[in-house]
Structure formats: C-alpha cells, structure tokens
C-alpha cells in the first residue's frame, strides 16, 4: 500500500510540474518583451513632466465666487503634470496663456446666465526646485563655515538695519516736503 501511495504522489507532482512549465512564458530568441508588459520608454514618455489635460474645479480657480453654481462645475485645462527625476524638483509651468470659456452660472435666486470665464493654461513645463529645496539651499549658502562668517553675518544684518533706518528717514523728509510714499514702513 505504501508503494501505491508513493506512486500516486509522484504522479500528481509530475502533473503539477508539467502544468507549471506549460503556463510559464518562455520568450522567443531575439523577441521583445511579453505582450502584456509596457516597455520602459513608453512608461517614461507617459510620465514625463509636460502639459496634460486635467479637470479643474471652477470654485478652486475662482474661490470668491462660492455663492454661485456653475455648469459644468469643472473644466478641462492643460496643466503641468508628471514626474521629475529628483525628489527635490516638481513639474512647474514655464509658459502660460489664458483661455476664455462660456459657462452657465446660477445664483441663489435661480437666475441663470451664460458668462465668459478666463482660465490659465500651461503651454510648457519643466522640472524646477521645490520651494522647500530652494529655501534649504539658500540657508546652506548663508551659513558660513569659518568663525569669521558669523561676524560677517552680524555686520551684514547691522548694515541692513542702518540702511532701512536711512530709507525711513529719507521717506519722512520726502513726505514732509510734499511728496508722498506709497509704502508705509
């Protein structure tokens, strides 16, 4: 009986092995990747930073207009989207233009009107440093390495305060003489 059990087990294992070999994909010589696999270049080209059609809520573009309902409530705009090769970079517009669209607007009194609304579209995009990365880089540049750097920074701050005081005094004199200043310091 032990022999029969061993034989049946061996037979089932052989069947299992053969079915696995049949289902495994063996690429042809010189052939390309599996039909269900998207090539690297196609994946890369689809994910690169560039203008793409995106749905944008009108309320997000015009936050002061919340008392109205718009139809449609969102519009398709070309906006920068995609991946950058460095985590410290983000996809940002380098060129923009305005586009005007006709939208139906309803107010709370159920009065409807067709209006023209202007939206910004992105024409060109590029990867640029994120705000946080720029700030960190500027902090590192401001930070000195030697002992003299600290003294130099203190002197620079003192100089700025002196320049600001001189500017305020000049503005006060100018306003007394009949000129006016658009800034209040």
Q: Kindly report, residue by residue over 65-89, the tens digit of the pLDDT.
A: 888 899 999 999 999 999 999 999 9
DSSP secondary structure, 80-138, as one string: EE-B-SSTTEEEEEEEEEEEEEEEEEE-TT--EEEEEEEEEEEEEEEEEE-HHHHHHHH
Residue 24 forms part of a structural domain: no
| Same structural domain, 56 and 81 | yes
Domain that holds residue 112: 40-130
The answer to whether 185 touches 169, Cβ cutoff 8 Å, is: no
Asked whether residue 101 falls in the same domain as residue 156, the answer is no
Q: How many other CB atoms are there within 10 angstroms of residue 49's CB atom?
A: 19
Q: Are residues 123 and 85 in the same domain?
A: yes
Contact 91, 122 (CB under 8 A): no
Pick from 21-30, 116-125, 135-144: least confident? 21-30
Cβ pair 79, 92 in contact under 8 A: no
Pair 119, 57 in one domain: yes
Is 34 inside a domain boundary?
no
CATH code where residue 48 lies? 2.10.90.10
pTM reported for the whole predicted model: 0.53
| Structural domain count of the chain | 2
| Contact criterion met (CB below 8 Å) for 119 and 75 | yes
In a domain, 77, yes or no: yes
């Amino acid at each position: 009986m032990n022999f029969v059990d061993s034989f049946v087990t061996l037979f089932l294992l052989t069947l299992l092995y053969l079915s696995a070999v049949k289902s495994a994909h063996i690429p042809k010589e010189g052939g390309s990747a599996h039909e269900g696999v998207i090539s690297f270049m196609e994946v890369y080209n689809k994910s690169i930073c560039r203008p793409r059609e995106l749905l944008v809520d009108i309320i997000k573009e015009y936050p002061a207009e919340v008392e109205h309902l718009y139809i449609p409530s969102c519009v398709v705009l070309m906006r920068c989207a995609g991946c950058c090769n460095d985590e410290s970079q983000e996809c940002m517009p380098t060129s923009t233009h305005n586009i005007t669209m006709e939208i139906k607007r309803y107010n709370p009194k159920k009065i409807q009107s067709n209006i023209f609304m202007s939206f910004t579209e992105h024409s060109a995009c590029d990867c640029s440093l994120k705000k946080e990365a720029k700030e960190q880089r500027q902090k590192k540049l401001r930070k000195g390495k030697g002992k003299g750097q600290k003294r130099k920074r203190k002197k620079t701050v003192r100089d700025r305060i002196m320049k600001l005081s001189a500017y305020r005094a000049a503005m006060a004199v100018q306003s007394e003489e009949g000129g006016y200043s658009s800034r209040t310091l």
